[in-house]
Amino acid sequence: MARTHKKVRYSPERKDRGHTPASAAEGVEEALKVLEGRWKLVILFQLFDGKLVRFSELERAIPTISQKMLIQQLRQLESDGVVRRIVHHQVPPRVEYGLTDWGEALCPALDELLKWAASREDFKGASTSER
């Protein structure tokens, strides 16, 4: 009843090769590696939906993060190809951060994870183990 997706679609369907359980796990791990880091998800959720945000705005939006840590997390996200740094050549130069297209494309996956975490209570009781 609650099981709407009966089968993980890690078989072909897309142009890429079919997956074994091991290669599917590896692919997901690759995605998760990009998200690792205490602040990366918060930063991503600040930038989704095409937002362009200045460093100082991010600092204000995430008051518990240190400046050093914010710089580090942004650099890692940038080097992973998720965040882009836009320098406006004016005096003084203005720097903004936004998501790359690939970064924006992460949206549906995070959305599904969020829905899944939130659905935990809905499944309680329905799926206790036999003993």
Residues 6+ apart with CB under 8 A from 6: none
The phi-psi region of residue 26 (left if phi > 0; otherwise alpha if psi is between -120 and 50; otherwise beta) is: alpha
Query: Does position 104 bind a second copy by CB under 8 A?
Result: yes
Interface residue with a second copy, options 42, 59, 69, 70 (CB under 8 A): 42
Name which of 29 and 92 has its Cβ closer to a second copy: 29
Residues 6+ apart with CB under 8 A from 56: none
Contact positions vs a second copy (CB under 8 A): 2-10, 14, 16, 19, 21-22, 24-25, 27-32, 35, 41-42, 44-46, 48-50, 61-62, 78, 81, 84-87, 100-120, 123-124, 126-131
